[in-house]
Amino acid sequence: MIERLFISSVQKELAEERRAARDFVQGDPLLRRFFEVFLFEDLPAADRRADQVYLDAVDRCGLYVGLFGSEYGSPVSGDKSPTELEFDRATARHKPRLIFVKGESEQSRDPRMAALIRRAGAELIRRRFRDKAGLIPALYASLVEYLVAGERIRTGPFDAAGCPGATPRDLSAEKIRHFVGVARSERGFPLTQKTPTRAVLEHLHLLRAGRPTHAAILLFGREPQKFLSSSIVKCAHFHGTEVEKPIPSYQVYRGNTFALVDQAVDFVLSKINLAVGTRAASTQAPVAYEIPPEVVREAIVNAVAHRDYAGNGSVQVMLFADRLEVWNPGTLPPSLTLARLRRPHGSVPGNPLLAEPLYLTGYIERMGTGTGDMIRRCRATGLPEPEFALTDGFVTTVRRQPEKAFKTVTGRTTPEVTPEVTPEVTPEVTRLLLACGQPGSRRELQERVGLKDADHFRLAYILPALTLGLLEMTIPEKPNSRLQKYRLTAQGRVWLAAHPSRP
């Protein structure tokens, strides 16, 4: 966001310094990203009172910079000069003020200007300068300090900065408790679900001066996109090999980080081919996707975890007839190259506070093994190695070979397998039914399907299957029993037998 910077003082005495300050800010590659400069003398002729023009400009500015010299200036309203009127207006409007005073000696200074300088000194810290060569570095240091204090520019990772406007009330205590439960199960997390939410957040370093960090909002926010509108995942499925409209299937997913990953993974797995073997060897029919689900998940979770959240771009997942592309608005850290990604390397997360809870819940590993695992899994199933590229972001490409899924299960190509499903049963419900060869608890079925987010699993899998009458509870009279399990109904077994090779 560009902020208007108002430079005060219309005295001829400081005209050179004013122009130098304007030219410096407008020419500096960093400062011009944040500020546009207002100088009164830059305005064209207009039929308006001069004092009203510069006071209106103070009202519209985000930052007031006062240059005070020896001259006071001619009073234009009562007994006050434009410089003092501007300072008073900035003070009354609670504008941030930076005051720079020219010269050390007070002997030649107009007594009224000396009084204004003393009054300003009682309210804020002033900086002195001798000439424009001394003004510029002082102005630069003050503007950078102002940007850092406002977290417009950062000395640390974006996810560690406080989220503007967010309070602890914007976080979900239920999501935090669920996270603790999963983290204890996956990695032996030391806290319990009875631990106060603030203590959990402090343990994970997700509070900054009592305010939620960006990472806290992304992980546990009630409405993360309210504060970080680009933290969405866009998924599109194309029947061909190019981006063409109309798009057969397009979804924009919102929610916290865990939900985004699970929803995007579901989108891909519901569109790619799946082969289902026979139950000759066990009650659980063997299944195989044309792309290993672990590869799909790794590509997506890497994009969500390591993207640049400070920009306006969002993660894009695009499935074509011949490939899967996962794009994120980010780049590699300086210590990594595209070539090193294909070899053992250390973990260098771009968002370390976001990455830690993802590690604790089993979404990612700490050792930088993700890309290597993708390569090994693709090799093991006969797929080409994933491709990594830097364009206007970071892109992971996984090539599709649909017949690989069929050969993995049957040893031969089975042309009957198709990724389409009947309208009544979603791909998510179908995946759940395939995992129900034996009754299982919610957690057990969730693990069989390969999901981490319990809310998403319940809403997209369990509830629709129950509603359709394809799944039932083993203890229906006690739906919240800790011994509760789910099993196929007779209707579910009939449907599954009629669709043995559906995904």
Contact criterion met (CB below 8 Å) for 215 and 355:
no
Cβ neighbours for 39, distance < 8 A, ≥ 6 positions apart: 7, 18, 19, 22
Give the CA distances from residue 76 to residues 18, 82, 87, 88, 366, in Å, rounded to whole numbers and listed in that order.
Answer: 21, 7, 14, 14, 66
Cβ neighbours for 80, distance < 8 A, ≥ 6 positions apart: 88
Tokens of 164: 């503007």
Neighbours of 178 (CB within 10 A): 18
Instruction: Give me the residues paired with residue 319 across strands.
Output: 237, 324
Contact criterion met (CB below 8 Å) for 188 and 233:
no
Q: Rounded to an integer, what distance in angstroms lies between the CA atom of residue 288 and that of residue 133?
A: 70
Q: Rounded to an integer, what distance in angstroms lies between the CA atom of residue 137 and that of residue 79?
A: 34
Tokens of 145: 């300090």
- Using DSSP's 3-state secondary structure scheme, residue 370 falls into helix
Q: Rounded to an integer, what distance in angstroms lies between the CA atom of residue 498 and that of residue 100?
A: 81
Type of residue at 242: E
Contact criterion met (CB below 8 Å) for 87 and 66:
yes
Helix (H) or strand (E) holding 134: helix 132-149
Tokens of 65: 């910079």
List of domains in the chain: 3-149 (3.40.50.300), 158-227 (no CATH), 230-413 (3.30.565.60), 420-503 (1.10.10.10)
Q: Rounded to an integer, what distance in angstroms lies between the CA atom of residue 376 and that of residue 310?
A: 33
CA dihedral 326, 332, 338, 341 (to 10 degrees): -80
pLDDT at position 10: 62
β strands within 70-136, DSSP E: 97-102, 126-129
pLDDT at position 126: 85
Backbone angles phi, psi at 315, to 5 degrees: -70, 135
Residue with tokens 């695992």: 373
What is the largest distance, in Å, between two alpha-carbon atoms of the chain? Answer: 102
**Radius of gyration of the CA atoms of the chain, in A:** 31
Tokens of 79: 């007994």
Secondary structure (H, E, C), 231-266: CCEEEEECCCCCCCCCCCEEEEECCCHHHHHHHHHH
> Vertex 158, ends 153 and 162: CA angle to 5°?
85
Total-model pTM: 0.63
Reference 220, options 178, 183, 190, 262; nearest CA is 178
Contact criterion met (CB below 8 Å) for 57 and 45:
no
pLDDT tens for the chain, 503 residues long, are 789 999 986 667 888 998 999 999 999 988 999 999 988 777 776 666 767 888 898 999 999 999 999 998 888 767 888 899 999 999 999 999 999 999 888 888 999 999 999 999 888 888 999 888 889 988 998 998 888 888 777 667 888 888 989 999 999 999 999 999 999 988 899 999 999 999 999 999 999 889 999 999 999 999 999 999 999 999 999 988 898 888 889 999 999 999 999 999 989 988 888 765 545 455 555 567 888 889 999 999 999 998 988 878 899 999 998 999 999 998 887 777 888 878 776 667 778 899 899 989 988 876 567 888 899 999 988 899 999 998 888 999 999 986 655 445 445 444 434 343 343 678 788 888 888 888 889 888 888 888 877 778 888 888 888 878 888 888 887 777 788 889 888 888 877 777 654 44
Type of residue at 147: L
Give the CA distances from residue 23 to residues 171, 313, 348, in Å, rounded to whole numbers and listed in that order.
Answer: 44, 31, 39
Type of residue at 248: P
- Using DSSP's 3-state secondary structure scheme, residue 366 falls into coil
**Pairing assessment for the beta strands 207-208 and 211-212 based on DSSP bridges:** antiparallel
